[in-house]
Structure 1
Amino acid sequence: MTKQLKVLVIEAHPDEAEMYAGGTAALLADRGAAVKFMSLTNGDAGHHEMSREALKRRRAREAFKAADLLSVLDYEILDNHDGELFSDLPLRKAVLRAICRWRADIVITFHDECEGHFDNRVAARVVREAVDFCTNDNVVDLVPALTQAPICLRMTDYGAIPTHKHDIVVDVTDSIERKLRACAAHATQFLEFSPYERGFLNEAPKEGDWASERPFVLKHWPEFMYAVDGMKPALQAKYGRTAEFAESFDLAGYGRAVSIEDVNALLAV
């Protein structure tokens, strides 16, 4: 019997796994992988009008709707305040416990040493620190250690674009509609808060108007939807062609030591 591939995407805020890895997550789920998203904050600062308590509840509902669209099996959201994430022992143990409980073969997270959102950098740092202990049976209780460290991949965000390496590139053309719908499901972010902060709230469609949501998301977040020039050599080498839509992952320098070819063969997408 072939072992089911287990994938854990660890982000700082609900909606980031969808935007940066949602297409790949959907493709992996299609081929039978068990995919989980984990947010280390509840996202309760990400709005210009809503209170923290109301916002965290709404963002949780959005996250589970997005997970269903992508066939992601679980979406764990830690109850830490958005904008206040710190790398401490309780957080590291929570991440370590999640990696071991999910029996993760692959962990995807952010870059930890670059510019950008403080929470994102902290999330990545905590993952790197937790992975170092995932084969040690004496660190977290009641969850057996892994027999080998997971493969660790890094997804890009705004701060990581200048240093991100396009090691593993996935053509997500077949899942782009689900990815876009999953992003739009996070209406607080894609239709409200980010448009407000970036000055195009007047262009934002009403939630549920998919015919308007789709082009709106593509217009304002193109760098995380389309295949950018830096991805094209890897796409050509892998598929014998380029693609319109793609996602890119940087093979981290921690976790299980593998080659790019090993990762592409394991993902098989």
Structure 2
Amino acid sequence: MKLSSLLSYATALLSFTLMLPFTAHAADDDGKLRIIVFGAHPDDAQYTSGGTAAKWAKLGHHVKLVSVTNGDIGHWQSAGGPLAQRRLAEVKKADAIVGAETLVMDIHDGELVPTLENRQKIIRAIREWRADIVIAHRPWDYHPDHRYVGVLVQDAAFMVTVPFVCSDVPPLKKNPLFLYSSDGFQKPYPFKADIAVSVDDVFDQKLTAIHEMPSQHYEGGTNGGEEYAAKVPPASDVAARKAWLRERWERRQGGEAKHSRDALIKYYGPEKGAAVKFAEAFEICEYGRQPTVEEIKVLFPFFP
């Protein structure tokens, strides 16, 4: 075969390959919502948004939970490729329980920086998912990976609609709703719960999913150790482990409900909003579109 013919064949094959994700998406253009959640590590998206993801999935909407790094230093006892593979397996199990798809990007844990290359990865991920809602960390987190996920998503927010940016992937026709997941940081801006979701009805499902990520809670992740592990019920006692996990997450999600009570009452009404025990909360980003309450109830269809 002549070189010119080979080049033509290669170009055609590359073009076909680049088109595959969009051909596949055409089949599931079913009118359902499409939500993508970015976390820095393989557990962050599950922790911040796993309950809300489960509620969307129960209604048939499409959710993808993304880790922007591979988590390969996120343990006190192991690191590198084996840990990255372990954590990928963990989040796949967790996401299957939630009803979400999984994406773990191959960027080293602790080394995420807001480069143009990484911004383009985020743009492509949002476009390929054809997102209606994008959720990410706030860009004021103490952890550089968390912080830069927020910066990268913020920098991608306008660009996802620009045709000649990442032109190999079709631009979105409408800017998604961009949200921050909650955190406890007070400076420079404390988190403000614009939207709060009751996860009472999926709390057990979320716990079952989180249980599948033992490297991070039962073993303590980066900040664990032998002393920490000795205080956790052993893997052989599953019931005790789950009780240990429940106690911690009841406190965490209960605190979320307490701090976001005004938003819960706004969307569920005075009686139901006051009765919510466990919640996940989100802040509407200053970039992107600013939705009305009516639009939010379309995007969060489980609100009354």
The answer to whether TM tops 0.5 is yes
Instruction: Please tell me whether residue 264 in structure 1 is matched to residue 291 in structure 2.
Output: no
State whether residues 41 and 69 of structure 2, in contact with CA within 8 Å, keep that contact through their aligned partners in structure 1: yes
Instruction: Please tell me whether residue 249 in structure 1 is matched to residue 278 in structure 2.
Output: no
| CA deviation vs aligned residue, 1:125-152 (integer Å, no higher than 9, x gap) | 0001011101111111321000011101
- 1:26–1:210 CA distance, 2 compared to 1 (3 A): farther
Aligned-partner Cα distance in 2 for 1:217–1:158: 21
Q: 1:238 aligns with which of 251, 259, 267?
A: 267
Q: Structure 1: which 5+ residue stretches go unaligned?
A: none
Aligned-partner Cα distance in 1 for 2:301–2:238: 31
The equivalent residue for 2:133 is: 106
Aligned-partner Cα distance in 2 for 1:207–1:145: 47
State whether residues 66 and 185 of structure 1, in contact with CA within 8 Å, keep that contact through their aligned partners in structure 2: yes
Which structure is larger by alpha-carbon Rg, 1 or 2?
Answer: 2
Instruction: Please tell me whether residue 15 in structure 1 is matched to residue 40 in structure 2.
Output: no
The equivalent residue for 1:68 is: 96
The equivalent residue for 1:170 is: 197
Structure 2 counterparts to residues 87-106 of structure 1, below 5 A: 87-106=114-133
The equivalent residue for 2:175 is: 149
- 1:188–1:206 CA distance, 2 compared to 1 (3 A): same
- 1:134–1:209 CA distance, 2 compared to 1 (3 A): farther
- 1:144–1:55 CA distance, 2 compared to 1 (3 A): same
Show structure 1 runs of 4+ deviating over 4 A: none
Q: Secondary structure at the match of 1:128?
A: helix
State whether residues 187 and 207 of structure 1, in contact with CA within 8 Å, keep that contact through their aligned partners in structure 2: no
Letter in 1 for 2:144: F
Letter in 2 for 1:91: N
Bigger CA drift: 192-201 or 118-127? 192-201
The equivalent residue for 1:211 is: 239
Aligned-partner Cα distance in 2 for 1:33–1:193: 33
Q: Structure 2: which 5+ residue stretches go unaligned?
A: 1-28
The equivalent residue for 2:142 is: 116
Aligned-partner Cα distance in 2 for 1:29–1:4: 10
How far residue 118 of structure 1 moved from its aligned partner, in angstroms, is 1.1
Q: Secondary structure at the match of 2:134?
A: strand
- 1:149–1:8 CA distance, 2 compared to 1 (3 A): same
Report percent identity of matched pairs.
33
Instruction: Please tell me whether residue 138 in structure 1 is matched to residue 138 in structure 2.
Output: no
Aligned-partner Cα distance in 2 for 1:214–1:119: 29
State whether residues 168 and 260 of structure 1, in contact with CA within 8 Å, keep that contact through their aligned partners in structure 2: no
Q: CA RMSD in A?
A: 2.2
How far residue 24 of structure 1 moved from its aligned partner, in angstroms, is 0.2
Letter in 2 for 1:40: V
State whether residues 111 and 124 of structure 1, in contact with CA within 8 Å, keep that contact through their aligned partners in structure 2: yes
Aligned-partner Cα distance in 2 for 1:93–1:4: 26
- 1:159–1:205 CA distance, 2 compared to 1 (3 A): farther
Aligned-partner Cα distance in 2 for 1:191–1:152: 32
- 1:7–1:44 CA distance, 2 compared to 1 (3 A): same
Which one has more relative contact order, counting CA pairs under 8 Å at least 6 apart? 1
How far residue 87 of structure 1 moved from its aligned partner, in angstroms, is 0.4
Letter in 2 for 1:179: K
| CA deviation vs aligned residue, 1:163-203 (integer Å, no higher than 9, x gap) | 11111110111111111111121111011124726963222
Aligned-partner Cα distance in 2 for 1:208–1:260: 48
How far residue 160 of structure 1 moved from its aligned partner, in angstroms, is 6.5
How far residue 9 of structure 1 moved from its aligned partner, in angstroms, is 0.2
State whether residues 177 and 290 of structure 2, in contact with CA within 8 Å, keep that contact through their aligned partners in structure 1: yes
Q: How many residue pairs get matched?
A: 267
How far residue 261 of structure 1 moved from its aligned partner, in angstroms, is 4.4
Q: Secondary structure at the match of 2:280?
A: strand
Aligned-partner Cα distance in 2 for 1:208–1:6: 39
